[in-house]
Amino acid sequence: MPDINFTAADWVRIRRDYTAWWRGELDRPLLYFSNVFDGPVPADDDFYGFLSMYPPEVAPAEIVRKYVAHNAARVFKGDAYPFFFINFGPGILAGPLGARVNATFETTWFEPPPGAALSSLRIRMDRENHWWRRILAVTKAAAESIGRTIQISYTDLGGNLDILASLVGTESLLAELIDRPAMVDKAAAAVTKEWLSAFDELDALIRPHCPGTNGWASIWAPGSSYMLQSDFSYMISPAMFKRFVMPDLEACCGHIEYPFYHLDGIGEIPHLDHLLSLEKLRGIQWIFGDGKPPAEHWMDLYRRIKAGGKLIQVTATVEGARKICREVGGKGFTFSIWDAMSPAEADRAVEDVLGACR
């Protein structure tokens, strides 16, 4: 049993409350506190956030051990629960599809293979690829050894156009959207097919051992789930989003029981009406971005999302969550709260936020 401050009884509570939240039956917001420690806060270099930083000779079991040790002092207050994000970098599916993977301590990025062009692209996963084998090995080791206590996440596979841009280059793909849209349609559909296959492989490793699922965001679900995305869509029109991204989202939402969408910044807001039209999409994660007003500034956006019948996740301070609850209501929200605090401070924060919802 891993040395984590979380019990089987805690999981019963998490399953009950998150399941009610997904069903629209929870009359309060979910509160996920990420930085509550009872003891020394571990240094970032005790455990690499990007697992791509570990050399191949570091065994998956050792990575899992380091994760558990890194989180031993964490306390799970409110609706927080322990989960292990299998983080090889955003859009890592581009690696087994042929892109070169570059990893540093801070980030992971991709380069197209030499001479890559959309017209000659063969989109098929190489299941012997180092990165895919490593993702599967770490996911399997984590699920089998700690999955009963710690929720294991799916890795961040990426969005269809994000992955395609990693394979042919961003500028090249933008030009092809205009010059050869039918070819982009075909390539994007091929990426979606490989994406769904990869998702199913990860799901088969995780589900038998874990209480439920979550993607890279802290939203637990009782069935298959994922935080869908299209960061590339920041650069395209709603009409292009409808043509090139919506078919992928429709396929994923039809395949996954609890899909969410990562609305990343003001450049994606023009696509919101298309997203709200997706009947099977359960919710929207709003990322306002660095240098933009904080969570409590976006009340009209939250009203649009709630009017569209979707759940909402947003990162907020305690005071920001209080303001949103007072003005928009807390039902249907999950607040990710990153403020560093002690267990006693977290208990008071729970009461403060929930008090604003009454």
Residues 352 and 256 reside in one and the same domain: yes
Residue where a domain terminates, one of 172, 201, 217: 217
Residues 291 and 181 reside in one and the same domain: no
C-alpha count within 13 angstroms, C-beta hemisphere, residue 7? 3
Residues 227 and 204 reside in one and the same domain: no
88-113 pLDDT, tens digit per residue, is: 999 999 999 999 999 877 788 899 98
Residue 7 covered by a domain: no
Report the number of distinct structural domains present in the chain. Answer: 2
Confidence of residue 342 (pLDDT cuts 50, 70, 90): very high
Cβ contact 180:244 at 8 Å: no
Residue where a domain terminates, one of 194, 217, 240: 217
Burial class (CB in 10 A: 0-12, 13-18, 19+), 274: middle
Angle in degrees, CA 224, 228, 233, rounded to 5: 170
Tokens of 340: 């560093």
155-180 pLDDT, tens digit per residue, is: 999 999 999 999 999 999 999 999 99
Tokens of 286: 């709003």
Residue 103 confidence (pLDDT): 84
Residue 238 covered by a domain: yes
In 118-268, beta strands by DSSP E: 151-152, 225-229, 258-264
* Beta carbons within 8 Å of 143's beta carbon, 6+ residues apart: 152, 205, 206, 208, 209, 210
* Beta carbons within 8 Å of 282's beta carbon, 6+ residues apart: 22, 258, 259, 260, 310, 311
* H helical segments located in 207-271: 238-240, 246-255
Residue where a domain terminates, one of 175, 195, 217: 217
195-210 pLDDT, tens digit per residue, is: 999 999 999 999 999 9
d(CA 21, CA 73): 28
Residue 123 confidence (pLDDT): 95
Give me the residue label for tokens 């439920």.
212
How, if at all, do strands 225-229 and 151-152 pair?
Answer: unpaired
Residues 237 and 349 reside in one and the same domain: yes
Within 10 angstroms of residue 100's Cβ, the number of other Cβ atoms is 13
Residues 48 and 34 reside in one and the same domain: no
pLDDT at 316 over 80: yes
Residue 43 confidence (pLDDT): 76
Residue 357, SS3 per DSSP: helix
Cβ contact 257:229 at 8 Å: no
d(CA 257, CA 223): 6
The one-letter amino acid code at 126 reads D
Q: Calculate the average pLDDT of the chain.
A: 95
Confidence of residue 2 (pLDDT cuts 50, 70, 90): low
pLDDT at 4 over 90: no
* Beta carbons within 8 Å of 128's beta carbon, 6+ residues apart: none
242-285 pLDDT, tens digit per residue, is: 999 999 999 999 999 999 999 999 999 999 999 999 999 999 99
Residues 213 and 226 reside in one and the same domain: no
Instruction: Tell which residue, 264, 217, 219, 222, has the closest CA to residue 245.
Output: 264
pTM over cut 0.85: yes
Residue 40 confidence (pLDDT): 80
The stretch 214-237 carries a mean pLDDT of 96
Calculate Rg over the CA atoms of the chain: 20
Confidence of residue 75 (pLDDT cuts 50, 70, 90): very high
Residue 253 confidence (pLDDT): 98
